Amino acid sequence: MKTHCPYCSLQCGMVLEGRRTLEVQPWPEFPVNEGALCRKGWTATGLRGHRERLTTPLVRDRTTGELRAAGWDEALDLVAGRLRDLRASYGADAVAVFGGGGLTNEKAYQLGKLARVALGTSQVDYNGRWCMSSAASAANRAFGIDRGLPFPLADVEQTDVLVLVGSNLAETMPPAARHLDRLRARGGHVVVIDPRRTPTAERADTFLQPVPGTDLALALGLLHLLDAAGAVAEEYVAARTVGWADVRRVVATWWPERVERVTGVEAAQLRRLAALLAASERVTILTARGAEQHAQGTDTVLAWIDVALALGMPGRPYAGYGCLTGQGNGQGGREHGQKADQLPGYRMIDDPAARAHVAGVWGVDPSSLPGAGRSAYELLDALGTSSGPKALLVFGSNIVVSAPNASHVASRLGDLDLLVVADLVMSETAALADVVLPITQWAEETGTMTNLEGRVILRQQAVAPPSGVRSDLDVIAGLAARLGHDFATDPEEVFAELGRASAGGRADYSEITYARIRDEHGVFWGSPRMFDGAFAHPDGRARFVAVEHRGAAEPVDAAYPVHLTTGRVLAQYQSGAQTRRIGDLPDAGPYVELHPILARRIGAADGRPVVVRTRRGELKAPARVVDTIRPDTVFVPFHWVGANRLTNDALDPSSGMPEFKACACAVTA
């Protein structure tokens, strides 16, 4: 069976062979990964038949406080009954829904519909807020549309200079690293910007190592130098953009020495990079979480888009700006209505025409649809409070590991009247639930995903699920039925409905069918290369947005003198709920990466425990002493419980993105 990996946004094609023991084989014809997979992909079948797989619903016993096995009807009746009661006592917004960017398009769509139609609640959002939301809000402002990559990924091989701002793609999308190698073989130049010299940086021609949270200042410095050198693409700026004059005023004071003081990147290095960009025909700038997961993430992305626009790149072949989305369905998951402010087709929920269209497809009165709800962290922060939701349904996220300021989030979950978690394993979040619903996983069900390029692909069922589990679509329909609504459960039927609901929207899937996806190796929504003729704003022009650098919400000080940043390692995926259970993947963490200079100062040794403290919590874990990190910074991977007890819940005002990538800490041996 031809299908795709269960994990990241590359959605690598693979072939699954065998009936009882399922084996992963390459699918060389699938263009995105050409048969290559990372070790997570090769070992993805490791959760099949795993002894920790959930196979029966569980309900928390009121007297013993323990979870006990229950039948499906008992569990769903109980959930629906309590949701009805809570709604009757406190109103529809007493029930909240939390989804995930790993869910198929069909699931994301049905989850949004469950919230808006069957529950009537505005309180629905998802973990994509923690992923690419800052890049999304920036792209919407600058280009009038949000598609992670507005061009096929392989286009980056044909650019002249590729700038990766806060992406460690050699570890987070390993098969994509071949594009860097091919670009360099062609004579192109790779620039990596990261506080750590990562495996991606090892493949770069230019490496800048800024203080976490200062990418915005770097971009302002580049704009300053480009302007001073007369390297701004005047004709393009005049014909295709608005707003350059405002940006020009702001960057006038960002001379290289000022940038060096803020970022730690030498003025000479910045000058060399500006000269390289000015002299290059085609420049492609890509941001990922390193640049985006900040309280100023949107502004940071806007500043890098300003650089791309000043150089006249977006809309030209093999050049421009893009965001490397992260989760398997990071793109589709934000298009079909599990986001607090959106309806299917990337329609905005406060737009009367959008409401009328979607309500028509759903057969309800437009006025019955709720308005916009809270963004992910604001939603979690409100749980169990007097004005917040009393019940939460979680599909596809392991919140207590992956949310910022996680101890606080766990305490909010503890104040709920009802927590329901649908998962395939007993994640740390499921372990806190009142009701746990065991669901089918990848390879046991069919559905579409939209990869980082906007290519809609089909994950096909290869094997029967274990008895006792149900698909998310069944669970959602089962709850909807108990609340008096008839929802489809067949994925292809749901996809067709999603197509109708999205028709005419910004992300219009109405022309895409399962048959076409099978025939065409995936189908792009919209055009594969988006900004050839015009940008998506009504006047066809892109917006320069003038932004100022403020720095991390929590600056270092005498009590917390070290920068803390967080991120990923190759062998683990996200909260680790899935990959930590796969025996063939090394489970090495958590650990604290620090520089020998810092280690010496605090008396730490490689492999020996250190304690990292922030204003929110502390973590004791072995030190990993490496000379690849800035001496003033430590790094903790977030795949294990702990990193997020430390992180700051300061949010980006326009996207709701938490500042996962920069806060102040103290480190002791």
Ligand X SMILES: Nc1nc2c(c(=O)[nH]1)N[C@H]1C(S)=C(S)[C@@H](COP(=O)(O)OP(=O)(O)OC[C@H]3O[C@@H](n4cnc5c(=O)[nH]c(N)nc54)[C@H](O)[C@@H]3O)O[C@H]1N2
Closest CB to ligand X belongs to which residue?
A: 326
Indicate which of ligand SF4, Mo ion, ligand X, none lies near residue 638 (CB less than 5 to 8 Å, by partner kind).
ligand X
Q: Which token pair is 91? A: 């109103």
What is the DSSP code string of 255-269? -HHHHHHHH---HHH
Selection from 344, 343, 332, 369 nearest residue 498 by Cα: 344
Among 2, 5, 163, 349, binds ligand SF4 (CB under 6 A): 5
Spell 408-422 as b/e; 16+ CB within 10 A means b: bbbebbeebbbbbbb
Decide whether 40 or 339 has the Cβ nearer to ligand SF4.
40
Tell me how many residues contact ligand SF4 (CB under 6 A): 14
Decide if residue 256 touches ligand SF4 (CB under 6 A): no
Q: How far, in Å, CA of 524 to CA of 332, rounded?
A: 11
Q: How far apart are the first and last CA of the chain?
A: 51
Q: Interaction with ligand SF4 in 23-52: which residues (CB under 6 A)?
A: 33, 37-38, 40-41
The rounded distance, in Å, linking the Cα atoms of 428 and 397 is 10
Give me the least distance between CB of 549 and Mo ion, in Å please.
Answer: 25
Contacting residue, 10, 111, 131, 418, with Mo ion by CB under 5 A: 131
Burial of 81 (0-12, 13-18, 19+ CB in 10 A): exposed
By CB under 6 A, which span of 6-14, 302-310, 472-480, 555-563 interacts with ligand SF4? 6-14
Binding-residue pattern over the window 168 to 197 for ligand SF4, x denoting contact by CB under 6 A: -----xxx----------------------
What residue 12 binds from Mo ion, ligand SF4, ligand X, none (CB within 5 to 8 A, per partner kind)? ligand SF4
- DSSP secondary structure of 302-346: HHHHHHHHHTT-TTSTT-EEEE---BTTTTGGGTSS-STTEETTT
110 interface partner picked from ligand SF4, ligand X, Mo ion, none, CB below 5 to 8 A per type: none
Q: Which helix (H) or strand (E) holds 89?
A: helix 72-90
Which helix or strand (DSSP H or E) is residue 593 part of? strand 592-594
The token pair that represents 378 in the structure block: 């604001």
Asked whether 641 and 429 are in contact (CB, 8 A), the reply is no
Q: Is 550 exposed, middle or buried (0-12, 13-18, 19+ CB in 10 A)?
A: middle
State CA 173 to chain mean position distance: 13
- By beta-carbon proximity to Mo ion, the closer residue of 312 and 656 is 656
175 binds, among ligand SF4, Mo ion, ligand X, none (CB under 5 to 8 A by kind): ligand SF4
The closest residue (CB) to Mo ion is 326
Tokens of 524: 């792009």
Strand, coil or helix: what is 85? helix
Contact call for residue 457 and ligand SF4 (CB under 6 A): no
Contacts to ligand X by CB under 6 A? 8, 100-103, 127, 130-131, 165-169, 171-173, 193-196, 198, 212-213, 215, 288-291, 293, 326-327, 395-398, 401-402, 422-425, 427, 439, 472, 565-568, 570, 572-575, 577-578, 635, 638, 643-644, 647, 660-662
In whole angstroms, the minimum distance from the beta carbon of 172 to Mo ion comes to 9
Q: Give the footprint of ligand SF4 on this chain (CB under 6 A).
A: 5, 7-8, 10-12, 33, 37-38, 40-41, 173-175
Q: Give the footprint of Mo ion on this chain (CB under 5 A).
A: 131, 326-327
